[in-house]
């Protein structure tokens, strides 16, 4: 593919990191994807099900065009892309330089198990005598010190937990491939200085450290320590704070001057924790609170040891860096711990519960009480544990926990046969995504999940029944108590530990809770132009939002790299895989290579057995055996053998065949074989599950491989041309942002706006709740659009017709004075926007004092509102919204009400403000605004949908009646202004969407290909949507969708030609009966009947090779190239044997 | 809608009354031709013919128990594209159902056709019919139709209705534009006609017959007939399932098959231009036969017999209308109709589908439903709105 010279570093290989890395790689940049963990996937590796579909679906992130550049198997198991260099167990230790030319320092943790040699046989694990709690199962199970970090990765190399390892050497003995080395000698060379004025502390520390194999020296005072530091080098200093004479902070200060590289861990009493935190600002790495035991000390020491042991730090030169550093969570056992977490075994966090539901979890997915294994019948979820909680310094909402709890409740119901009761205790159910409210409604009304609006105050275990008694005060003030089998805590987010460090290093501002603050109106850009943030790192988000913001971040990164010249190509594009023309016509000559090593030799029949059996097929030219194929040596032997035998197909029989795919890919150019001409099968004796004896099992695998290679279709993938231009429909902030992002990469953009001028909803907005200036944003964006040489604005124009497909669309627009233009473009972005829903309720129209939010906004703007003359204003949320037929949250109205309330209060500080709401959607850091509003004495009254407030015009003013749930009385408010939050409706004409092959959802919004994994794409490739046409959103969120849509578009525009996937559907016209079943079956709209030629045509770029057409076609007239029927039948035959 | 009328039968000559009706249809300016069963001029046989000359309709024989081919396939050829004229097609109910399936499969169009469907008196198998049809054709048909309509049954002269007809629970022309009712009607005196579509109503209206309500005796007569058929059918299902419930039994059931593929040639809904079993997919390599033989010590030839029938069941059982032409076509007397109907009954029930029932009902494989068969796919989840 087209490889550009620009590169990016993506830190964090969770969902956001993977999405951004793929986006950048698909555009042609080289990407270094780094993760601290030894595996990909971040938090997702622990989650098996995601709302609202309760499936996974992560694989939908894989490339859809130029598919053969990447792996096409389960993304949770692993990822491969030609342009992505994945570095696991690696940390970023420094970033410096200018945007476009940054130097990133990476350090890989020492690999005590060599992943190149580890074959994943697992013999080390039973040999290991050490057991510790397993972080993958959130501590619910135990694992050995040598272990698999996640059960599903491929390849899945074992990892040694150096902190837990006792260095007994048992695993080294058990390992058949000598993949493990012990950190014994290195530990002795690791020098630690313990500084404490108490002899008892010094003695016990020395004993503990030496028992772990480290070298430790003691100092009783600061000056003594400094003398020692002068005399000899140390790696680590454990430093007491409170010492007579020179205190720890001073010692630290001086020691850092002597030896800046020295790692220091402060030791402090509880009372001086603040001092220790202060010490970290001047260079201490960490601190320990006294008294501590050996188990809390050693891991910290080992961490420093590991870091120093880390392989030589390497520097990567790169254009820009995306930080997706993940998140930490609130520890519910800290503080007052009212829910007995860590004390009661049946009190879990959401992640722990998620592991409990997983097939790879502690109970293999069965829902039983952890205390006694008895079945679980009643589960309670408690929301906002460590979120929306000023006491734990968390005046923010963690965004996803409400939906996670609803999902877990529904999932749990499917796991329990018989009675099951799920109860969710909440403050506001924040169902603010497009489909979330309906998901909740299904849970509540169809699935019987109980929602209780209350915050339980205590939990007490009942040793007799093993149950948990939960107490709460209901809305009326009455005390309630019920017993549950299990209680799940929706624990809040905390900033990732590296946030503060990176912020200091890069001079980035942090918000009051320690999260990196993005630039105004951006979710991803920071003050440093070369540093972009994404994922949970910048605030918790669900998968869909993480994916959108990751693509948006990729767009922002790409812009930096592009402007530094990184878009230039470094290699000529290699399209469709060059293949000697003759090869497709040559009869197959298969070289079968069997790998042999010490582990397989004893349990496998001699090579002659396989040779005899396989040579029966004339297509098999040679059967050979190679020792240790997995080593570099083995691979070289293999190459020689391919040359010597003149084979044109290669079959490799080895263990863990997946590990070979990447190596086999590299074989291609060298041996003249493309990936499809090479097949690897797993013939390891332990992986046969057929119940055959090992030899028969291996033979079945090999014969299937022969069958596959024999009938493989070696033709290269088809290629289509791309028109390097984009069409953006809609000139609001989303449309303009998308147009700019695309045009900034050098591609022409036609921006079609139906109205007189650009700007959309921004033309009537002034400020955001956070106080950012919307008009300045609009002015700035308008100027950039109007001055951009590559953007052509078509105002007062509308799309009248469109046809075509990815790479080549033609759109007909009608402009001023019915002038018609034909526009050619490779991609289309629909940004037609949305508008405030019309008000019908609450005496709107009957009284001028009842107005919608936008009406108020306009009145405030032109100064026509006499706020001073008012005594009270009532704001009613969710007017006609979050109920059928408009059963979705519009996301912006709660923020708008808070903002307008503050504006009105500024105009009239005496004004009483009443906000009548159902669930206040003050998501994320907006929560602080909600808190501020309550502190300012604004009154928030929740109402139920079946008891909506009543608004009556009474001579000049208005009377609002609403039931106050705490007083349990009707409240009458005499107001001079009632503001209705009616929400957002999309403006996306069905004909327009369908002209581009896109569809609308039930509410008229753009239907995404997948709400989680492809949130701005249409199922039809090359068509994207952003802004309010996609879903209700705030300005920064709309901008993020626009940037994401632009990035998705750039993947396509970035190539002159698109190689489609090798596996695409085709038609044998001579067999085709034109029944058109395949057209109906195709989910991607890639098939059409050409009436003129009376033929069925397939668009190879839109086809995703799913095979639905081949499945419905009865006579194979529709078939998948790359999966010929004869090949499939031959493979099945080889597997089961015998004809019928 | 459902305009209804009666046609008088003169001299108790039912066949003549039907022919006159067809002539009246053909005389309409908008009707270019009539597709109907007609006696061959050279031999005492009945085959479908496309008739434009009203005189030729004297040889039309729609009540004959001959059922050599299912005319749906023929009608699909006449209607795939505009023909420039309109055809009135006289079809049995199972032919109409098969045509409906073919239209859904884009193998035919309803635009240029008016379907005239008869209450089906049933048919003999080809072999039985050839044995039985020795008398002069007009007399033979009259004997047969009288026997059936007077309730004495179709069994005569050592022949009986084919099993497909005995098991047919849909003997009335539900999908026709104009349905002709015979059961429960005093056919010595009259025929009852019903227009079932706007197109049928338009044509019937122009023919000028007197309006008439449904004869009172008809519903009861149909109810009784259908009950008998269902009883026979269910017993047949049971018998067939018992004989085919394992792979071994199924192999035994199909043991006489010689891979001649006549059954799929005769099948009205098997619409492929070329069956996959005669394409290169099944051109096995010579070395393959040897490997098969080695696997069990011997391989039965020809191969792929069971595979063929299972494939046809997979492809066509949701479209099977139970006409029985597969059995009719088998040179070795395999009970194919029994097998297909038994399987089809269940596959169609699984999708809540009935082949040929309605033209606007999508065939199961044309539709993607996300939450289907959770017990099969192993995923169940509450739907979110």
- Which of the listed ranges A200-209, A637-646, B119-128 does the model predict with the highest average pLDDT? B119-128
Indicate yes or no: CB of B292 within 8 angstroms of CB of A1112: no
Same domain, B323 and B292: yes
CB spacing of A1070 vs B380 below 8 angstroms: no
Asked if B246 has any chain A CB less than 8 Å from its own CB, the reply is no
B56 touches chain A (CB under 8 A): no
CB-CB neighbors (< 8 A) of A1074 in chain B: 106
**Quick check: bond before A885 cis, omega within 30?**
yes
**Lowest-confidence region among A38-52, A970-984, A1068-1082, B90-104:** A38-52
Domains of chain A: 7-108+316-326+496-563 (3.50.50.60), 185-309 (3.40.50.2300), 331-491 (3.50.50.60), 581-710 (3.40.50), 723-833+987-1053 (3.50.50.60), 836-985 (3.50.50.60), 1060-1136 (3.30.70.20)
Q: Which of A232-236, A948-952, A1074-1078 has the lowest mean pLDDT?
A: A232-236
Residue A912 has pLDDT above 60, yes or no: yes
Query: Closest approach of chain B CAs to the CA of A447, in angstroms?
Result: 8
Q: Do B179 and B288 belong together in one domain?
A: no
Q: Which of residues 85-124 of B touch A (CB under 8 A)?
A: 105-107
> Domain for residue B212, yes or no?
yes
How far apart CA A1133 and CA A1131 sit, in angstroms, is: 5
* Chain A residues with CB-CB distance to B363 below 8 A: 1077
Which of A431-435, A830-834, B132-136 shows the highest mean pLDDT?
Answer: A830-834
Question: Pick from A54, A410, A1071: which is nearest to B273 by CB?
Answer: A1071
3-state SS assignment for residue A538: helix
- The Cα A735–Cα A1041 span in angstroms is 10
Nearest alpha-carbon partner for A394 in A490, A276, A302, A512? A512
**Whole-complex ipTM:** 0.88
- B187 and B212 in a single domain? The answer is yes
**Whole-number Å distance between alpha carbons of B176 and B165:** 19
Whether B269 contacts B319, CB under 8 Å = yes
Give CA–CA dist A787/A791, Å, rounded: 8
Alpha carbons A664 and A658: distance in angstroms, whole number: 10
Q: Residue A308 to residues A71, A170, A192, A668, A740: CA-CA distances in angstroms?
A: 34, 25, 12, 39, 45
> Nearest C-alpha of chain B: how many angstroms from A1120?
14
Mean pLDDT of chain A: 88
Confidence (pLDDT) at A577: 43
pLDDT of residue A223: 92
Question: What is the chain A residue with the closest CA to B290?
Answer: A616
More confident residue, A314 or A602: A314
Task: Report the residue from B106, B281, B382 with minimal CB separation from A410.
Answer: B382
pLDDT of A154: 67
Of B177, B210, B229, at which residue does a domain stop? B229
Chain B hits for A1112, CB-CB cut-off 8 Å, are 365-366
Mean pLDDT to the nearest integer, A96-104 = 91
Residues of B in contact with A1071 (CB under 8 A): 272-274, 279
pLDDT reading at A280 higher than 90: no
Residue B272's pLDDT band, with cuts at 50, 70 and 90, is very high
The residue from B229, B257, B285 where one domain ends is B229
Rounded CA-CA distance B378/B96 in Å is: 38
Q: Which two tokens stand for residue A13?
A: 């290989």
Average pLDDT for A953-962: 90
- The residues pairing with A267 across neighbouring beta strands, listed in sequence order, are A240, A288
pLDDT mean over A572-597: 66
B210 touches chain A (CB under 8 A): no
What backbone phi and psi angles, to 5 degrees, belong to A150? -135, 150
User: Within 10 Å of residue A758's Cβ, how many Cβ atoms?
Assistant: 23
| B166 shares a domain with B18 | yes
Task: Report the pLDDT value the prediction gives residue B383, as an integer from 0 to 100.
Answer: 40
| Cβ of residue B381 closer than 8 Å to a chain A Cβ | yes
Contacts of B380 in chain A (CB under 8 A): 414
B323 and B341 fall within a common domain: yes
In this complex, do B366 and A447 lie within 8 Å of one another by their Cβ atoms? no
- For residue B1, what pLDDT is reported? 43
- Tell me which chain A residues have a C-beta less than 8 angstroms from the C-beta of B280: 1126
Contact B63, B39 (CB under 8 A): no
Interface touch A1139/B368, C-beta < 8 Å: no
Give mean pLDDT, residues B9-23. 94
pLDDT > 90? residue A309: no
Task: Give the Å distances, CA to CA, from B28 to A749, A917, B38, B84.
Answer: 61, 71, 20, 15
Q: Which contacts of B277-280 are long-range, i.e. CB under 8 A and separated by 24 or more positions?
A: B277/B304, B277/B308, B277/B311, B279/A1071, B279/A1115, B279/A1116, B280/A1126
Count of the separate structural domains present in chain B: 2
Per-residue model confidence as pLDDT tens digits over B362-372: 998 887 777 77
Taking an 8 Å cut-off on Cβ atoms, the answer to whether A1081 and B106 are in contact is no
Does residue B109 sit within a domain? yes
Residues B31 and B81 in one domain: yes
Q: What gap in Å lies between CA A20 and CA A535, rounded to an integer?
A: 10
Residue burial B302-336, b: 16+ Cβ < 10 Å; e: rest? ebbbbebbbbbbebbbbbbbbbbbbbbbbeeebbb
Q: Please, which pLDDT band fits residue A660 given cuts at 50, 70 and 90? A: low
The answer to whether residue A305 scores a pLDDT higher than 60 is yes
What pLDDT is recorded for position A669?
67
Residue in A436, A352, A401, A396 with CA at minimum distance from that of residue A541: A401
Confidence bin at A547 (pLDDT 50/70/90): very high
Please tell me the distance from the alpha carbon of residue A179 to that of residue B157, in angstroms, as a whole number.
88
DSSP 3-state of A15? helix
Q: Which two tokens stand for residue A372?
A: 């006694």
The Cα–Cα gap between A837 and A987 comes to: 10
pLDDT of residue A297: 86
- B24 shares its domain with B137: yes
The answer on pLDDT for B381 being more than 50 is no
pLDDT for the residue numbered A663: 67
pLDDT, average across residues B136-143: 91
What distance in Å separates the CA atoms of residue A1038 and residue B124, rounded to the nearest whole number? Answer: 72
What is the per-residue pLDDT across B210-240, written as a single tens digit (0 to 9) for each? Answer: 899 999 999 999 999 999 999 999 999 999 9
A736-771 pLDDT, tens digit each:
999 999 999 999 999 999 999 999 999 999 999 999
Instruction: Give me the total of CB pairs closer than 8 Å, taking one residue from chain A and one from chain B.
Output: 107
Interhelix angle A927-935/A893-907, nearest 10 degrees = 30
pLDDT of the residue at A1061: 66
Per-residue confidence at A575, pLDDT binned at 50, 70, 90?
Answer: very low
CB contact under 8 A, B381 and A53: yes
Higher pLDDT, B306 or A720: B306
Extract the runs of DSSP E, i.e. beta strands, from chain B: 4-8, 33-39, 46-51, 87-91, 113-118, 178-181, 190-195, 210-211
Give residue B48's domain range. 4-229
Percent of chain A residues past pLDDT 70, beyond the cut: 93
CB contact under 8 A, B384 and A439: yes
On whether both B223 and B126 belong to a single domain, the answer is: yes
Q: List the structure tokens of A759.
A: 């700007």
pLDDT bucket at A686, cuts 50 / 70 / 90: low
Tokens standing for A216?
Answer: 């430790």
Instruction: Say if residues A969 and A946 touch (Cβ distance below 8 Å).
Output: no
How far apart CA A854 and CA A865 sit, in angstroms, is: 13
Report if residue B377 sits inside a domain: no
Residue B177 and residue B315 in one domain: no
Please tell me the predicted confidence (pLDDT) of residue A661.
Answer: 60
Mean predicted confidence (pLDDT) in A70-74:
77
A1073, A1081, A1138: residue with CB nearest B296: A1138
Residue bearing the bigger pLDDT, B150 or B95 = B95
Mutation target vs A (from B255, B272, B278; most A CBs, 10 A cutoff): B272
Which residue of chain B is at minimal alpha-carbon distance from A1003?
A: B385
In a domain, B353, yes or no: yes
From chain B, the residues in CB contact with A699 under 8 A are: none
Locate all alpha helices (DSSP H) within A528-677, ordered by sequence: 543-563, 598-601, 607-615, 632-645, 658-671
The neighbouring-strand residues paired with A768 are: none
- Mean pLDDT of the A58-71 span: 79
Confidence at B337, pLDDT banded by 50, 70, 90: very high
Is the pLDDT reported for residue A944 higher than 60? yes
Contact call for residues A338 and A457 (beta carbons, < 8 A): yes
Which residue from A350, A391, A592 is spatially nearest to A487, judged by alpha carbons?
Answer: A350
Same domain (yes/no): B155, B246 = no
pLDDT score at A908: 96
pLDDT of residue B339: 97
Are A446 and B384 a contacting pair at CB < 8 A? no
> Six-digit token pair at B243?
């004989």
| Token digits of residue B177 | 């534009």
Given B107, B290, B379, which is nearest A1073 (Cβ)?
B107
Taking contacts as CB-CB distances below 8 angstroms, the residues of chain A near B306 are: 1140
Distance between CA atoms of residues A1016 and A1050, nearest Å:
13
Q: Which residues contact B342 (CB under 8 A, 6 or more apart)?
A: B236, B237, B240, B241, B244
Cβ neighbours of A886 in B, within 8 Å: none
Token pair, residue A972, equals 């009458």
**Tens of pLDDT along A479-521?**
999 999 999 999 999 999 888 888 888 889 999 999 999 999 9
Q: Is the pLDDT of residue B144 over 90?
A: yes
State yes or no: pLDDT of B384 exceeds 50: no
Residue B340: is its pLDDT beyond 80? yes
Per-window interface: A 429-468 vs B, CB < 8 A: 435, 438-439, 441-443, 446-447
Tell me, yes or no, whether B318 and B286 share the same domain.
yes
Which of A616, A1075, A1083 faces B271 most closely, judged by CB atoms? Answer: A1075
A346-369 pLDDT, tens per residue?
Answer: 999 999 999 998 888 888 888 999
pLDDT (tens digit per residue) in A974-1001: 999 999 999 999 999 999 999 998 999 9
Question: Which tens digits make up the pLDDT trace of A107-150?
Answer: 888 778 887 777 777 889 999 999 998 888 888 888 999 998 88
What gap in Å lies between CA B73 and CA B86, rounded to an integer?
A: 17
Residue A270 has pLDDT above 80, yes or no: no
Asked if residue B38 belongs to a domain, the reply is: yes
Is B113 a member of any domain?
yes
Position B385 in a domain: no
Chain A, residues 1006-1045, CB within 8 A of chain B, namely: none
- Whether residue B200 lies inside any domain: the answer is yes
State whether residue A249 is helix, strand or coil: helix
Model confidence at A158: pLDDT above 70: yes
With CB atoms and an 8 Å threshold, state whether B382 touches A443.
yes
User: Strand order of the sheet with strand A90-98?
Assistant: A90-98, A101-108, A314-318
Burial A153-191 (b: 16+ CB within 10 A, else e): bbbbbbbbbbbbbebeebbbebbebebbbbbeebbeebb
Chain A window 1111-1140: which residues touch B at a Cβ cutoff of 8 Å?
Answer: 1112, 1114-1117, 1125-1126, 1129-1130, 1133, 1137-1140
Q: Give the DSSP H/E element, type plus range, for residue B71.
A: helix B71-79
CB contact under 8 A, B281 and A1129: yes
What token pair was written down for A1068? 């044998």
Residue keyed to tokens 């016990």: A204
* B26 and B150 within one domain: yes
Asked if B385 and A435 come within 8 Å (Cβ–Cβ), the reply is yes
Contact check, Cβ <8 Å, A1140/B385: no
The answer to whether B315 faces chain A, any CB pair under 8 Å, is yes
Q: Which residue of A has its CA nearest to B283?
A: A1126
Residues in a beta bridge with A108: A90
- B169-210 pLDDT tens trace: 999 999 999 999 999 999 999 999 999 999 999 999 999 898
Chain A segment 1095-1114 residues within 8 A of B by beta carbon are 1112, 1114
Give mean pLDDT, residues A33-59: 84
Q: What is the pLDDT of residue A281?
A: 78
- Over 90: is that where the pLDDT of A813 sits? yes
Sheet holding B113-118, edge to edge: B46-51, B33-39, B87-91, B113-118, B178-181, B190-195, B4-8, B210-211
CA of A1005 to nearest chain B CA: how many angstroms apart? Answer: 15
Are residues A194 and A206 in contact, defined by beta-carbon separation less than 8 angstroms? Answer: yes
Across the interface, whether the CB atoms of B274 and A1070 are under 8 A apart is answered yes
């Amino acid at each position: 593919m087209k490889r550009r010279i620009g590169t990016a570093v993506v830190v964090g290989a969770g969902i956001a990191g993977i999405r951004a890395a793929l986006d950048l790689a698909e555009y042609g940049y080289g990407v270094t994807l780094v993760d601290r963990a030894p595996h990909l996937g971040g938090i997702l590796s622990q989650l098996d099900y995601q709302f609202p579909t309760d499936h996974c679906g992560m694989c939908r992130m894989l490339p859809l065009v130029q598919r053969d550049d990447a792996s096409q198997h389960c993304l949770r198991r692993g990822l491969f892309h030609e342009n992505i260099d994945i570095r696991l167990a690696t940390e970023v230790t420094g970033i410096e330089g200018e945007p476009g030319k940054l130097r990133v320092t990476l350090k890989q943790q020492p690999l005590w198990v060599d992943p190149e040699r580890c074959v994943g046989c697992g013999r080390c694990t039973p040999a290991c005598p050490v057991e510790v709690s397993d972080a993958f199962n959130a501590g619910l199970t135990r694992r050995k010190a040598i272990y698999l970090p996640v059960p599903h990765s491929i390849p899945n190399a074992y990892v040694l937990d150096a902190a837990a390892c006792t260095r007994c050497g048992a695993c080294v003995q058990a390992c058949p491939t000598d993949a493990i080395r012990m950190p014994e000698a290195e530990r002795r060379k690791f020098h630690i200085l313990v500084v404490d004025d108490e002899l008892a502390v010094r003695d016990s520390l020395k004993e503990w450290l030496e028992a772990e194999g480290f070298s430790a020296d003691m100092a009783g005072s600061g000056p003594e320590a400094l003398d020692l530091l002068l005399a000899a080098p140390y790696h680590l200093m454990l430093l007491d704070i409170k010492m007579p004479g020179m205190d720890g902070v001073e010692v630290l200060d001086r020691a850092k001057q002597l030896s800046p590289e020295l790692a220091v861990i402060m030791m402090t009493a509880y009372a001086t924790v603040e001092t220790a935190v202060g010490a970290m600002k001047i260079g201490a790495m960490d601190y320990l609170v006294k008294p501590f035991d050996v188990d809390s000390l050693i891991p910290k020491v080992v961490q420093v040891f590991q870091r120093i042991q880390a392989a030589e730090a390497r520097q990567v030169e790169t254009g820009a860096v995306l930080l997706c550093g993940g998140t930490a969570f609130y520890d519910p056992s800290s503080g007052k711990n009212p829910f007995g977490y860590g004390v009661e075994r049946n009190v879990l966090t959401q992640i722990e519960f998620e592991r409990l539901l997983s097939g790879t979890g502690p109970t293999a997915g069965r829902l039983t009480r952890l205390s006694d294994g008895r079945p679980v019948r009643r589960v309670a979820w408690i929301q906002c544990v460590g979120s929306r909680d000023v006491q734990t310094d968390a005046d923010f909402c963690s965004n996803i926990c409400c939906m996670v709890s609803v999902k877990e409740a529904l999932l749990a119901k499917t796991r329990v046969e018989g009675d099951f009761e799920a109860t969710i205790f909440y403050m506001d159910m924040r169902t603010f995504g497009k489909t979330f409210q309906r998901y909740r409604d299904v849970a509540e009304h169809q699935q019987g999940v109980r929602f209780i609006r209350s915050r339980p105050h205590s939990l007490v275990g009942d040793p007799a029944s093993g149950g948990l008694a939960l107490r709460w005060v209901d809305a009326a003030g009455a005390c309630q108590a019920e017993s549950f089998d299990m209680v799940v805590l929706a624990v809040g987010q905390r900033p990732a530990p590296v946030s503060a460090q990176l912020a200091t290093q890069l001079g980035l501002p942090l918000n009051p809770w320690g999260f990196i603050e993005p630039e105004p109106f951006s979710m991803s850009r920071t003050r440093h132009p070369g540093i972009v943030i994404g994922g949970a790192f910048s605030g918790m988000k669900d998968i869909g939002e993480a994916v959108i913001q990751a693509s948006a971040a990729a767009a922002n990164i790409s812009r930096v790299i592009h402007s530094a010249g990184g878009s230039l190509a470094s290699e000529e594009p290699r399209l469709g895989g060059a293949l000697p023309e003759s090869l497709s016509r040559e009869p197959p000559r298969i070289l079968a290579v069997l790998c042999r090593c010490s582990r397989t030799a004893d349990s496998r029949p001699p090579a002659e057995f396989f040779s005899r059996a396989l040579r029966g097929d004339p297509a098999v030219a040679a059967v050979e055996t190679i020792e240790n194929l997995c080593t570099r040596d083995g691979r070289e032997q293999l190459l020689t053998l391919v040359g010597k035998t003149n084979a044109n197909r290669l079959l490799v029989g080895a263990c863990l065949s997946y590990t070979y795919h990447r190596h086999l890919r590299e074989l291609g150019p060298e041996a003249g074989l493309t990936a499809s001409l090479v097949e690897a099968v797993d013939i390891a004796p332990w992986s046969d599950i057929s119940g055959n004896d090992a030899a028969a099992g291996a033979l079945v695998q090999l014969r299937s491989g022969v069958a596959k290679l024999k009938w493989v279709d070696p033709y290269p993938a088809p290629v289509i041309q791309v028109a390097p231009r984009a069409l953006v429909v809609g000139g609001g902030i989303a449309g303009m942002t998308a147009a700019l992002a695309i045009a900034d990469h050098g591609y022409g953009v036609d921006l079609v706006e139906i109205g007189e001028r650009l700007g959309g909803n921004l033309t009537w907005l002034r400020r955001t709740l956070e106080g950012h200036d919307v008009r300045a944003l609009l002015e700035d964006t308008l100027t950039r659009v109007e001055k951009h040489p590559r953007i052509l604005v078509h105002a007062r124009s509308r799309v009248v017709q469109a046809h075509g497909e990815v790479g080549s669309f033609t759109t007909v627009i009608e402009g001023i004075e019915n002038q018609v233009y034909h526009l050619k473009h490779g991609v289309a972005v629909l940004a037609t926007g949305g508008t405030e829903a019309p008000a019908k309720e609450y005496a709107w129209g009957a009284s001028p004092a009842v107005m919608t939010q936008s009406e108020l906004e306009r009145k405030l703007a032109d100064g026509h509102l006499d706020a001073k003359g008012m005594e009270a204003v009532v704001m009613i949320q969710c007017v006609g919204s979050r109920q059928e037929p408009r059963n979705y949250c519009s996301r912006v109205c709660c923020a708008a009400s808070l903002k307008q309330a503050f504006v009105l209060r500024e105009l009239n500080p005496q004004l009483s403000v009443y906000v009548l709401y159902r669930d206040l959607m003050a998501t994320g850091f907006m929560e602080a605004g909600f808190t501020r509003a309550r502190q300012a004495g604004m009154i928030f009254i929740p109402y139920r949908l079946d008891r909506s407030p009543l608004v009556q015009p009474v001579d000049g003013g208005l009377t609002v009646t609403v039931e106050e749930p705490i007083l349990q009385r009707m409240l009458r408010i005499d107001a001079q202004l009632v503001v209705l939050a009616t929400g957002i409706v999309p403006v996306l004409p069905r004909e327009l969407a369908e002209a581009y092959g896109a569809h609308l959802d039930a509410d008229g919004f753009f239907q995404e290909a997948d709400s989680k994994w492809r949130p701005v794409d249409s199922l039809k490739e090359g068509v994207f949507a952003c802004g309010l046409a996609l879903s209700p959103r705030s300005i920064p969120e709309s901008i993020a969708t626009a940037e994401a849509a632009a990035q998705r578009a750039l993947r396509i525009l970035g190539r002159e030609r698109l190689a489609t996937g090798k596996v695409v559907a085709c038609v044998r016209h001579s067999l085709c009966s034109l029944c058109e079943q395949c057209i109906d079956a195709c989910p991607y709209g890639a098939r059409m009947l050409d009436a003129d030629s009376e033929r069925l045509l397939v668009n190879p770029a839109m086809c995703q090779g799913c095979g639905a057409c081949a499945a419905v076609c009865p006579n194979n007239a529709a078939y998948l190239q790359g999966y010929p029927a004869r090949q499939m039948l031959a493979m099945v035959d080889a597997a089961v044997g015998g004809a019928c | 809608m459902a305009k209804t009328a009666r046609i008088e039968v003169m001299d108790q000559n039912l066949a003549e009354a039907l022919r006159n009706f067809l002539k009246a249809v053909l005389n309409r300016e908008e009707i270019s031709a009539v597709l109907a069963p007609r006696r061959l001029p050279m031999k005492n046989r009945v085959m479908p013919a496309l008739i434009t000359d009203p005189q030729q309709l004297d040889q039309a024989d729609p009540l004959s128990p001959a059922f050599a081919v299912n005319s749906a396939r023929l009608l699909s050829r006449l209607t795939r594209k505009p023909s420039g004229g309109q055809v009135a097609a006289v079809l049995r109910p199972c032919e109409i159902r098969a045509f409906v399936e073919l239209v859904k499969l884009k193998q035919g169009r309803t635009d240029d056709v008016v379907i005239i469907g008869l209450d089906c008196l049933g048919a003999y198998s080809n072999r039985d019919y050839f044995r039985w049809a020795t008398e002069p054709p007009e007399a033979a048909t009259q004997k047969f139709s009288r026997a059936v309509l007077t309730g004495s049954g179709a069994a005569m002269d050592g022949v009986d209705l084919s099993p497909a007809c005995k098991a047919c629970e849909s003997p009335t022309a539900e999908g026709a534009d104009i349905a002709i009712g015979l059961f429960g009607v005093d056919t010595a005196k009259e025929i009852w006609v019903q227009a079932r579509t706007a197109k049928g109503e338009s044509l019937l209206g122009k023919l000028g017959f007197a309006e008439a309500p449904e004869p009172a005796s008809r519903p009861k007569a149909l109810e009784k007939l259908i009950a008998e058929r269902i009883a026979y059918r269910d017993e047949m299902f049971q018998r067939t399932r018992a004989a085919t419930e394992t792979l071994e039994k199924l192999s035994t059931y199909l043991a006489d098959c010689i891979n001649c593929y006549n059954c799929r040639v005769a099948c009205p809904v098997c619409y492929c231009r070329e069956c996959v079993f005669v394409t290169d997919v099944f051109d096995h390599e010579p070395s393959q036969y040897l490997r098969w033989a080695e696997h069990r010590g011997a391989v039965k030839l020809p191969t792929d017999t069971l595979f063929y029938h299972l494939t046809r069941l997979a492809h066509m059982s949701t479209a099977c209308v139970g006409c029985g032409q597969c059995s009719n076509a088998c040179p070795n007397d395999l009970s194919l109709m029994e097998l297909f109907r038994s399987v089809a009954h269940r596959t169609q029930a699984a999708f809540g589908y009935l082949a040929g029932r309605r033209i606007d009902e999508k065939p199961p494989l044309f539709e993607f439903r996300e939450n289907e068969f959770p017990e099969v796919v192993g995923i169940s989840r509450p739907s979110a709105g």
